[in-house]
Amino acid sequence: MNRVAQTYPEHLETVKKRFGMALAAAGFDAIAIFAGSLQGLFLDDQDYPFRVNPHFKNWLPLLQAHDSFVAYVPGQKPVLVYYQPDDYWCLPPAPPSGFWVEHFDIRIIKRPEDAPGALPVTRRCVFLGEWQERFKNWGFADVNPEALINPLHYTRAAKTEYELECMREASALSARGHRAAEQAFRAGASEFEIHTAFCAACGQTDNELPYGAIIALNEHAATLHYQYWNRDKPARRHSFLIDAAAQVNGYAADVTRSYSAAGDEFQELIDALDKEQQLLARKVRAETDFKALHLETHQAIARLLRDFEFVRLPPEDIVAHGISSTFLPHGLGHLLGLQVHDVGGFMASPRGDLIPKPEGHPYLRNTRVLKENFVTTIEPGLYFIPSLLDKLKAGAHGRNVNWSKVEEFHKYGGIRIEDNVVAKNGSPENLTRDAFKLN
């Protein structure tokens, strides 16, 4: 039995405890968690790729179970209402199997409308998921109440050992994909060809990846969420940024690496940022204030801007004048797990009150104090984004920038280096670096 299977029973007990406490706090005695349903394209007979409700896959590793439910009454065995139609147009879902099935009362339905008879709906049963009009007479007491969702989102930041095992495996697949992608880049491949090499090495299709892969050559790396895979090979290759990862049992990795095509000053800048990134990753420990770590990141970027002679000011002034935000406009990182940008990053308590972002940093996605087994990304970047640089040039502090040097680096687009790190009471666990060492 592998570690994922070994650790699942304890994970399930943790999930039942968390849901039981949330139900009690919100005044309910049962819950029905809807996996979601297929969504059709407008004026078409095809559907969008299905993405399962993250609360559903928190219970069990079923990612393609549309129109199914997990239902739980505290103290009873959880129920899986599993939709398995008789279909010859599309291959029906396989019968439930695997290390998790013995822990569920599995009830097969052949039509979505058969679900009410299979669900253990009580007088105070709450619905969690994507609501549809057809559910209105099924007897649910409430739909997605914040009093229930807030404590679930708050506690989800701390991962069970099962979840960490899934994320370790996702990191290993991601590292294999990144190795193949770098090789394709070095061989002169196009963005589309690099993406194909990444998916093949991971063994996952586009729709199975946890997010759309960012495969950016040259100046495309200046677009933070560059969304295309150019089929044409550039006339000259200067740089490559890849932000792509795999998932295992619904748990995501999120990994970014940057490369130069030559051993030039841009590669030196990548190496310098990589050193700063690893220093930040080693500070991901229990009781670390992530807001403070984000602000520390801007000091690191400011040092690089000074050391590489992009800006003629001391680092503290580069930050104070907001110049570092031109070159690093996003946050240091975000919580990671069932979703790539996992929920709960701003929560001060299970009640749902929020921790504000630092002034001047609107795109930070995590303001919490880290606790043991929180998983966060650490992803500092340094970019040459024309629209932001134009605003800096026109402002009061533009005179302090070495514009001829900045212009030389436009062709590279930018750098981002991203690891997935588990906060511990002692030294953190860097899932990404560990995976790259083994793959």
Q: Is the dihedral of CA 373, 253, 210, 259 positive or negative?
A: positive
List residues bridging with 47 in a β-sheet: 40
Cα of 384 vs its chain's centroid, Å: 24
3-state SS, residue 337 = coil
Q: What pLDDT, on the 0 to 100 scale, is given for residue 23?
A: 98
Cα distances (angstroms) measured from residue 292 to each of 202, 338, 357, 370, 420: 35, 25, 11, 11, 18
Mean pLDDT within 28-50: 96
Q: Which residue spans of the chain are classified as CATH 3.40.350.10?
A: 3-155
Superfamily of domain covering 3-155: Creatinase/prolidase N-terminal domain (3.40.350.10)
Mean pLDDT within 81-102: 93
pLDDT tens by residue, 192-213: 999 999 999 999 999 999 999 9
Q: What pLDDT, on the 0 to 100 scale, is given for residue 121?
A: 85
Asked whether the predicted pLDDT for residue 123 surpasses 90, the reply is no
Quick one: pLDDT band at residue 1, thresholds 50, 70, 90? low
Q: Which residue spans of the chain are classified as CATH 3.90.230.10?
A: 161-438
Rounded CA gap, 57 and 51, in Å? Answer: 10
Extract the tokens encoding 128: 């969690």
Asked whether the predicted pLDDT for residue 54 surpasses 80, the reply is yes
Rounded CA gap, 370 and 357, in Å? Answer: 15
Rounded CA gap, 349 and 210, in Å? Answer: 28
Mean pLDDT (the chain) is 97
| Nearest C-alpha neighbor of 342 from the set 431, 247, 204 | 247
Looking up tokens 């209105």 gives 136
pLDDT tens by residue, 274-324: 999 999 999 999 999 999 999 999 999 999 999 999 999 999 999 999 999
pTM (global) more than 0.85: yes
Q: What pLDDT, on the 0 to 100 scale, is given for residue 267?
A: 98
Contact assessment for residue 252 and residue 337, using Cβ atoms and an 8 Å cutoff: yes
| Nearest C-alpha neighbor of 420 from the set 381, 382, 375, 364 | 375
The fraction of the chain above a pLDDT of 70, given in percent, is 100
Rounded CA gap, 369 and 366, in Å? Answer: 9
3-state SS, residue 381 = strand
Rounded CA gap, 157 and 161, in Å? Answer: 13
Q: First-to-last CA distance in the chain? A: 23
The fraction of the chain above a pLDDT of 90, given in percent, is 97
Mean pLDDT within 56-83: 97
Contact assessment for residue 378 and residue 419, using Cβ atoms and an 8 Å cutoff: yes
Extract the tokens encoding 101: 């099935």
| Nearest C-alpha neighbor of 82 from the set 61, 103, 111 | 111
Q: Which CATH number fits domain 161-438: 3.30.200.20, 3.40.50.2000, 3.90.190.20, 3.90.230.10?
A: 3.90.230.10
List residues bridging with 100 in a β-sheet: none
Extract the tokens encoding 310: 């992009």
